[in-house]
Structure 1
Amino acid sequence: MSSFHPASLSRRAALQTTAAGFGYMALQGLLAAEAARNAAPPLKPLSPRPPHFAAKAKRIIFVFMEGSMSQHDTFEYKPELVKNDGKTAPGGGRLTASKFKFSQHGRTGSWFSELLPGIASHADKLTWLRGLHTDTPAHPQAVVQLHTGSANAALTRPSMGAWLLYGLGSPNQDLPGYITVNPPPNFGGAVNYGSAFLPAHYQGTRITDQGHLPNLKRSSAADLQRRQLDLVQSFNRDFAAQPGAPDPVNAIIDSYELAFRMQDKVSELLDISKEPAATQEAYGVNASGPKAAFARQCLMARRLSEAGVRFVEICQGGWDHHNNLHKGLIDRTQSIDQPVAALLTDLEQRGLLEETLVLFGSEFGRLPTQQGPDGRDHNITGYSMFLTGAGVKKGYTHGATDELGIKAVEGRMHTNDLHATLLALMGLDHERLTYRYAGRDFRLTDVAGEVARDIFA
């Protein structure tokens, strides 16, 4: 039943008294229009919305290793590769075993190289996706496909974080629902956290590992700033009310209000200096160089998730080792191993890991063959990622590559399947989460995607 505000009752009565002068249908139309004007306002774009079915996770942290981390030197041990080191691979190239020592960890006996002792300490919590494959070996397209579901540069698609916000909204109305820290600078840029044809409310908010959020600074005269914003917003609302006003105007109005509220919240939230010294030490915040920068990202990810941010992505680049593989891997893994391990420990100790899904991985993997004197080329036919936290089995492996680690042969998962599975863990049916644009219904998984339900706890 339509509801009316008290102030509208006299107007309704006046309309009813004119029945003699109006046809019945015309009067009903006027009353319906009046009801629409006075009904409760619609939900704000980022208001929390119910999932399609019971969700296993409330939020996602995506730990992205840009450039394709070599699984053969970190967490995928292949005895046959060791046995055939130096021989010619079936498709050509010289098979090259890792120079790093591997050992088994936890009750599950998961293999890790000596490069990742911290992450290895969480071996029994991890769910491995060992049969991943994707469509293109080119970094720009593969990174964009991992983030948006499509490598087609001709049509920019919404990012998976944007789809998640579109489907579920955000539990904290004073913070962005989607934050990306140090997003990939080289491959796709803002496309990787954009909203494309979805309303602009759903795009990601970019910050740095120093906690810098561009153009967000509280004026010393808060009352004056509020009055100035009210004036600007009155102009915006007048413009939005005009026939033919572009859809983004309402998104701009909401973003201004969110930004005003964020000035009080975000600076404090991103100030990791207030964390206990032991916590900062555990993450490696007091280290130097890339390790300290990534440690700050991981600690921010925990703080943001704890505050109710629906999707947080953190990024470490520099994994594209066509050369200088061994020295480069030592450098990269030393910068991420302790912070990632500390993030998982911290989430678990705070009870957040039961609600938070953590995804770790790259846009594709690397081949078991040697490239040049000290490198490995891209591999899109078989590689690994891991999940941990809410909704997934602990110490479980889904899929596998062949005995040399060239091609996925069991539990094959395309990028579309990965996205369908992530959405399902968040309570969303990837086939129902659609948006009509340019005459058709679009979705994150395009026209494909199978949910890997056997990994669900």
Structure 2
Amino acid sequence: MNMNLNKLDPLSRRNFMEKVAKTALGVTLLPVGSRAVQAAAGNGPGFGKAKHVIYLFMEGGMTHIDTFDPKTGSTKGAKDPIKAKSGSGNLDYLGGYLPKLAEIGNKIAIVRSMSSKTGVHESGRYIMRTGYEPRGTIVHPSLGAWGSHFLGRIKDVVLPDSVTVGGGRHPGAGFFPPALSPIPITSAEAGLQNIRPTTTEDNFQKRVALMDEFDSAFRKKFNANTDVKAYTEFYSETMKLLKSEDLKAFDISQEPASVREKYGAGGFGSGCLLARRLVEHGVRFVEVQLGGWDMHNTIDTAMTNNGETLDTAFSALIEDLESKGLLESTLICLGSEFGRTPDVNQNDGRDHYPLAYSTVFAGAGTKGGYVYGSTDKDGRRPADKQASPQDFVSTIGHAMGLPIDEVVMSPSNRPFTVGDKGTAITDLFA
């Protein structure tokens, strides 16, 4: 598997590999799987419509002024805003770097009134994935892990519940069992590596049979041991995964060249294409990261590069999911750790700015061409309907059909909820 072990949360190398293996095979089904489904009635618009989630994380702190909350006054971006198609919604303009998204503005909903308390990268990334401020004594679960905890495995799906694409540190399963962690894929182009037998099928089966013979007495003697039972389940599911045709979902080279070109060159476009393929094969939660947003210098040059990358891949993802009939059941959400200063600095860049920023939603019943909340004329503060990272995480959990108010006790006997008591923004959903 192509991944960077040094960037993952503290586990020994051996335990980490066990964690990844168990995640890939979906062992450990928790007994609360049907609660959210049973609670579906009466939970407000959009509840449970997202059978899949694709989270586009803009790492570094995305400038709201130059993307989804453009201004025309003294804090305007280097490019003039573009009029966006809104259908019957209230969306007006997008940043001048996003022409393709402006053309399909009637398919996205924007929260322009986000505000956070942290301007530190690590804290911002953590809170936008968990809804919690980081604490040294505990790691909180990310949304994919919450989904696995409450909803269980998706029936008849061999692939893992959750995948992250693009590297970077991630809270993963948090205090939940390691089996609920996402599989990290550093490179979408490389996909999963070293997953096919290096010998003939006949020799492989002989080796499997020999290993079974050696292990059978041990498993029988220690069958009551939790770790041994987990290993036995892991072993069984490993064989199932290795024989599954669904592993091809990780191979984006199987897509026609015309499709790959539509998503754009580079890792983020490939990551979005991989996310679509994984959703097609039943994966519940996929996060795709795009770095390069820490634009302290020359905002125009930086935005020209990142803007085109985001515009091309995000718009292609929406249109591709729609063409395959998957957009109504897939929530695409875009977030970042914070925004950037409305005023440019002496280096023609923008600095960290948590007081105001934007997030974006599409699919799974979201209102197209809709804007929730606003900032003041210069983009410095929310003017109305202020929303927090907790609200953002809770909104995604709500769309997934999670009981966001249900208290879950951690192993240290502390109470937690999805999104730390945030309020789902149900106005985003039709």
Structure 1, gaps ≥5 residues long: 1-42, 86-95, 285-290
Q: Does 1:60 align with 2:56?
A: no
The change in CA–CA distance for 1:278 and 1:442 in structure 2 (over 3 A counts) is same
The change in CA–CA distance for 1:387 and 1:280 in structure 2 (over 3 A counts) is same
Q: Secondary structure at the match of 1:354?
A: helix
- Alpha-carbon distance in structure 1 between the residues aligned to 2:427 and 2:366: 9
Deviation at 1:274, TM superposition (A): 2.0
The change in CA–CA distance for 1:228 and 1:454 in structure 2 (over 3 A counts) is farther
Task: Give a deviation string over 1:228-265, Cα, whole Å, max 9, x none.
Answer: 664687546755624xx56xx65554444444333334
The change in CA–CA distance for 1:169 and 1:219 in structure 2 (over 3 A counts) is farther
Whether contact under 8 Å (1:322, 1:372) holds in the other structure is no
The change in CA–CA distance for 1:233 and 1:396 in structure 2 (over 3 A counts) is farther
Q: Match of 1:175, as an amino acid?
A: L
Q: Secondary structure at the match of 2:287?
A: strand
Task: Give a deviation string over 1:314-342, Cα, whole Å, max 9, x none.
Answer: 11111100112211111112223212211
Identity %: 33
Deviation at 1:293, TM superposition (A): 2.0
The change in CA–CA distance for 1:378 and 1:229 in structure 2 (over 3 A counts) is farther
Whether contact under 8 Å (2:128, 2:392) holds in the other structure is no
Q: Does 1:241 align with 2:224?
A: yes
Q: Secondary structure at the match of 1:413?
A: coil
Which of 112, 117, 120 matches 1:130?
Answer: 112
Q: Does 1:205 align with 2:178?
A: no
The change in CA–CA distance for 1:181 and 1:241 in structure 2 (over 3 A counts) is same
Number of the residue aligned with 2:96: 114
The change in CA–CA distance for 1:253 and 1:128 in structure 2 (over 3 A counts) is farther
- Alpha-carbon distance in structure 2 between the residues aligned to 1:47 and 1:275: 38
Q: Does 1:173 align with 2:157?
A: yes
- Across the aligned residues of Structure 1 and Structure 2, the Cα RMSD in angstroms comes to 2.4
Q: Does 1:372 align with 2:354?
A: no
Which of 123, 131, 135 matches 1:153?
Answer: 135
Number of the residue aligned with 1:315: 289
Q: Secondary structure at the match of 1:73?
A: coil
- Alpha-carbon distance in structure 2 between the residues aligned to 1:146 and 1:232: 47
Give the greater-gyration-radius structure (CA): 1
Deviation at 1:441, TM superposition (A): 2.5
Task: Give a deviation string over 1:77-136, Cα, whole Å, max 9, x none.
Answer: 223xx2xx2xxxxxxxxxx43111212121345312231112222200111111112221
Q: Secondary structure at the match of 1:282?
A: helix
- Alpha-carbon distance in structure 1 between the residues aligned to 2:49 and 2:285: 15
Moved over 6 A (4+): none
Number of the residue aligned with 2:261: 281
Whether contact under 8 Å (2:129, 2:393) holds in the other structure is no
The change in CA–CA distance for 1:66 and 1:238 in structure 2 (over 3 A counts) is farther
Give the TM-score normalised by structure 1.
0.78
Q: Secondary structure at the match of 2:327?
A: coil
Larger RCO: Structure 1 or Structure 2 (Cα < 8 Å, ≥ 6 residues apart)? 2
Number of the residue aligned with 1:223: 205
Number of the residue aligned with 1:77: 70
Structure 2, gaps ≥5 residues long: 1-26, 41-47
Q: Match of 1:101, as an amino acid?
A: D
Whether contact under 8 Å (1:170, 1:309) holds in the other structure is no
Q: Secondary structure at the match of 1:136?
A: coil
Deviation at 1:153, TM superposition (A): 3.4
Task: Give a deviation string over 1:11-62, Cα, whole Å, max 9, x none.
Answer: xxxxxxxxxxxxxxxxxxxxxxxxxxxxxxxx95179933243322111000
Whether contact under 8 Å (2:140, 2:173) holds in the other structure is yes
Q: Secondary structure at the match of 2:53?
A: strand
- Alpha-carbon distance in structure 1 between the residues aligned to 2:300 and 2:220: 58
Deviation at 1:433, TM superposition (A): 5.6
Number of the residue aligned with 1:386: 360
- Alpha-carbon distance in structure 1 between the residues aligned to 2:215 and 2:249: 27
Q: Match of 2:33, as an amino acid?
A: R
- Alpha-carbon distance in structure 1 between the residues aligned to 2:324 and 2:352: 38
Q: Secondary structure at the match of 2:262?
A: helix
Q: Match of 1:271, as an amino acid?
A: D
- Alpha-carbon distance in structure 2 between the residues aligned to 1:358 and 1:366: 23
Task: Give a deviation string over 1:337-379, Cα, whole Å, max 9, x none.
Answer: 2122111100001110010000012111111012222111111
